[in-house]
A = this chain, B = another copy of it.
Amino acid sequence: MTSTEATLLSDLHSIVGDRGLLTGTDVTLRSCDPFRAVPPEGPAIVRPASTGELSQIMALCHARGQRVVVHGGRTGVAGGAYAGPAEIVISLERMARIVEIDPVGLTATVEAGATVEAVQNAAMEQGLLYPIDLGAKGSATIGGTIATNAGGNRVIRWGMTRQNVLGLEAVLSDGTIVSAMNRYLKNNTGYDVKQLFIGSEGTLGVVSRAVLKLVAQPRTQLVAFLSLSSFQAVLDLLVRARRLQQLSAFEVMWQDYYAMVAGHDATRRPVDPSQPFYVLLELMGFDEAADQAAFNSLLEEAFDAGLIVDAVAATSLKQVGELWRVREGSEILVREMAPFISFDISVDIRRADAFAQAVRQALTTTFGEVKIVTFGHLGDSNLHIGAHIGSDTLARAHEIEATVYAVVRQFDGALTAEHGIGQMKRDFLPDHVDAGALTLMRRVRDALDGTRIINHDVLF
């Protein structure tokens, strides 16, 4: 340890105390990546217990030119939490209180380190729902999901994290505390400064608290798993399903995905794997009779119109869980496909299958035989693709990515729909945003963190 480093740790210790400062194996045994061991490479994890402590930490780091990387639940898949040897980690894990649930104003006031699941549980006790729903919700924190504008399974109904945040508090790189803890649906009092921090992947400041928007907890959940014989049938079904206000998920799986999951786990094979497309359709509502009637009509009309080949509807909460497990087969992908590169694209819904075919074509042309799985939140334009070209998949990651992202550009798609840029996609960012927009992003970052001490290697 250098003497500069020793001084830094000592000064940080004087702000946060023993419990607030982790060093040694407390650092090296942590991972910055949800799938494998990628420890922070720097000397310390500092854990403020309050916004005041966080502000002091940032002011200190700013004065010293000390780079920091901010950690929430470390469930992000774009490398946004990776920390190099010259960076210390700031973790919000000790700021995890649920401060208030307001059942009339429909708000939750929380500290940034609270997990999404903890907020959901607190809301549920009041008959309310915080609708951001991710596989990682048990670990993912409110701060992390705000910083990355997390999406998930029910964006089609309730939007991304951005649409579910009313207010927040953040600490800028120089320690300035920005309080914008708005509780109202409507507030045009100056710039809506919270928007700067949502989805900026921590680069503009550290989110410390938030006011979240809650909705009434639906009382019904109706799920069907369907097979379809053409992509046009998928589109026609989506158009019909979107007419129902109860629609809460419209997840599509291409055969490559479904065959793999259903082929390796007999409990995840609700329908015969002989068709090119599979849809998990979910309605959530408040009136059992009306919702069931709407669900049945939709399915009957879709059958009558020849859109559906086969269908299974859940008749119990247990079956609801089983059908969702088909869609959430990532551990099978990891087992059967690893190593693979994953993609998180938005693309014109009408052209999603043409896009998937073009990706397969491009990868095959470049790499020969490849394994690909395609699935995603098609109702939101969002596809996930996993690609494996052989044992050299990781070594050739950049080539694989360049190949796929060239197709994304041809289709005018988005480089990342919900996972974000992190450190992993930053090389590709300039080719996927307008030059004027990139100039603007740089100007804003320069204005708020001119020396780039926060998440230095993230985004651009």
Contact = CB atoms under 8 A, between A and B. Distances in A.
Interface string A339-355: 00000001111100000
A139 interface: no
A105 interface: yes
Contact of A195 (B104, B192, B414): B192
Contact of A189 (B185, B188, B285, B421): B421
A150 B456 CA distance: 36
A438 B185 contact: no
A156 B216 CA distance: 13
Looking at A151, A195, A216, which has the most chain B CB atoms within 10 Å of its CB? Answer: A195
Contacts of A243: 216, 286
Interface residues of A, number: 84
A162 interface: yes
B348 A183 contact: yes
Contact of A434 (B179, B185, B416, B446): B179
Interface stretch (A38-46, A170-178, A302-310, A316-324): A170-178
Contacts of A182: 414
Contact of A440 (B178, B235, B377, B417): B178
How many copies of this chain does the complex contain? 2
A418 interface: yes
Interface in A139-183: 148-149, 151, 155-156, 159-160, 162-163, 172, 176-180, 182-183
Interface stretch (A129-137, A196-204, A357-365): A196-204
Nearest to A380: B185
B172 A440 contact: yes
A459 interface: yes
Contact of A444 (B186, B287, B444): B444
Interface in A405-448: 414-421, 429, 432-434, 436-441, 443-444, 446-448
A420 B293 CA distance: 44
B105 A346 contact: no
B417 A193 contact: no
Given A104-B350, A192-B149, A349-B104, A160 B180 contact: no
Contacts of A440: 172, 176, 178, 191, 193, 196, 448
Given A160-B185, A176-B436, A189-B429, 19 more contacts: A104-B235, A172-B436, A182-B414, A184-B414, A185-B381, A186-B380, A188-B414, A188-B417, A188-B419, A189-B416, A189-B432, A190-B429, A190-B441, A191-B199, A193-B437, A193-B440, A195-B198, A290-B293, A444-B444
